[in-house]
C-alpha cells in the first residue's frame, strides 16, 4: 500500500493542491517545529517521524523534511496546532524532587511520578531535563521547549550537574584521584569534574561533586567503583540553576525571563520566554539563581 493510500480520507482532504513553498515562506525541520510546539525532545520526535507517526499535508513525513506554520501537520492522525515562531514562548520550572517519586510520565507499578506535582501549562507539555532515580532527591528542571531540553541534556554542550553525596565508607586520597582521572563504567570512561569535601567524618562523609554528562546512575556507579556506597544523593545544581533553600520538597517554582534566557544562552539557543511568569510565594524566586 502506498504512503498516500495509507493516509486517512481526512488527511487527503486537507492536502493542498500544490505543496510548493513560496520563496518567502519560512520553513524549518519538522522535528524542530514539533519540539517548539512542546511535544517532546528532538531525539524523541525524530523517532516518531521515522516510525511513520507524523504526516505533512496528508503524506507520511520523512526525516529531514521541512515545513512551516502554514502546513497541516498531524501526529497519529491528530492535527497539531503550530504557532508562528514569534508566538511560541518558553517556560522553565524548578522542582524539588522528594524520595519515592519516579521521573516518568506513568509508572506501571503505580508509584508516584514527578509529573503529578507539576502545574498545568497552557502551551506544549512538560519535558523533564534529565532524570533522577527514585532514591535521589533535589533539583529537577522541566520545560515546554523540546529543543531546549534536548540541548541541555546533550553531552556535546557539557552542562554541569552538581550533587551533594553522603558516602558510607572510608574515602582516601587515592580514590579521589581515581574519580577525577576517570574510571571505566560499562565500557565508558567516566569521571567527576571536581570533588570537594562537604562535611561529616569517619565512615559518613559528605562531598560535593560535579559532572557534565549525567549517564544513568553515574554518580552512584563512580563511587561504587571505589568500593564505597552512596547513602544519600541530592542534586543541588543544574548548569547555572541551583536548588533554592526555600523550595520545599514536592514544590515547584518558575524561572524568570532573564534566568530562562541565561539558561538558553548556555546552549546557544534563542528563546522567547513568557513575559508574565506566575509569581512565587514569599522570597523563593530571589534564591533560585546561582551567583558564582
* Long-range contacts of the stretch 228-232 (C-beta < 8 A, 24+): 228/167, 228/168, 228/169, 228/170, 228/171, 228/175, 229/167, 229/168, 229/169, 230/165, 230/166, 230/167, 230/168, 231/166, 231/167, 231/168, 231/204, 232/164, 232/165, 232/166
Phi (first) and psi of residue 36, to 5 degrees? -65, -25
User: What is the sign of the dihedral through the CA atoms of 152, 155, 160 and 161?
Assistant: positive
Closest alpha carbon to 73 in 24, 120, 18, 29:
29
> Cell 584521584 identifies what position?
177
**Region of 187 on the Ramachandran plot (φ > 0 left; ψ -120 to 50 alpha; else beta):** left
**Which of helix, strand or coil describes residue 201?**
strand
Backbone angles phi, psi at 83, to 5 degrees: -90, 150
Q: Which has the closest alpha carbon to 96: 125, 137, 67, 126?
A: 137
Question: Among this protein's residues, is 133 annotated catalytic?
Answer: yes
Task: Point out the catalytic residue in the list 76, 133, 181, 258.
Answer: 133
d(CA 143, CA 286): 20
Q: What is the Cα–Cα distance from 256 to 276, expressed in whole angstroms?
A: 9
Q: Are 253 and 92 in contact (CB under 8 A)?
A: no
Q: What is the DSSP letter of 37?
A: T
Which is nearest to 132 in space by CA: 193, 27, 218? 218
Q: Annotated catalytic sites, by residue? A: 133
Amino acid at each position: 500500500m502506498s504512503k498516500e493510500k495509507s493516509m486517512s480520507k481526512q488527511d487527503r482532504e486537507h492536502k493542498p493542491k500544490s505543496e510548493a513553498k513560496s520563496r518567502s515562506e519560512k520553513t524549518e525541520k519538522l522535528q524542530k517545529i514539533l519540539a517548539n510546539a512542546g511535544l517532546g525532545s528532538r531525539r524523541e520526535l525524530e523517532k516518531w517521524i521515522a516510525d511513520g507517526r507524523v504526516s505533512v499535508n496528508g503524506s507520511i513525513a520523512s526525516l529531514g523534511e521541512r515545513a512551516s506554520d502554514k502546513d497541516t501537520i498531524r501526529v497519529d492522525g491528530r492535527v497539531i496546532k503550530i504557532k508562528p515562531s514569534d508566538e511560541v514562548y518558553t517556560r522553565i520550572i524548578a522542582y524539588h524532587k522528594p524520595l519515592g517519586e519516579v521521573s516518568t510520565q506513568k509508572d506501571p507499578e503505580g508509584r508516584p511520578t514527578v509529573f503529578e506535582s507539576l502545574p498545568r501549562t497552557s502551551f506544549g507539555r512538560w519535558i523533564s531535563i534529565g532524570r533522577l532515580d527514585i532514591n535521589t532527591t533535589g533539583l529537577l528542571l522541566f520545560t515546554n521547549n523540546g529543543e531546549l531540553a534536548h540541548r541541555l541534556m546533550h553531552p556535546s554542550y557539557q552542562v554541569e550537574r552538581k550533587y551533594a553525596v553522603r558516602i558510607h565508607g572510608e574515602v582516601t586520597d587515592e580514590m579521589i584521584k581515581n574519580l577525577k582521572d576517570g574510571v571505566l563504567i560499562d565500557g565508558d570512561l567516566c569521571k567527576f569534574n571536581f570533588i570537594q569535601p562537604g562535611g561529616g567524618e569517619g565512615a559518613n562523609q559528605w562531598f560535593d561533586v560535579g559532572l557534565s554528562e549525567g549517564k544513568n546512575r553515574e554518580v552512584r556507579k563512580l563511587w561504587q567503583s571505589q568500593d564505597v556506597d552512596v547513602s544519600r544523593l541530592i542534586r543541588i545544581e543544574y548548569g547555572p540553576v541551583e536548588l533554592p533553600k526555600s523550595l520545599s520538597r514536592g514544590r515547584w517554582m518558575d524561572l524568570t525571563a532573564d534566568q530562562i534566557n541565561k539558561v538558553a544562552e548556555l546552549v546557544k539557543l534563542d528563546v522567547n520566554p513568557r513575559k508574565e511568569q506566575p509569581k512565587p510565594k514569599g522570597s523563593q524566586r530571589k534564591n533560585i539563581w546561582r551567583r558564582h
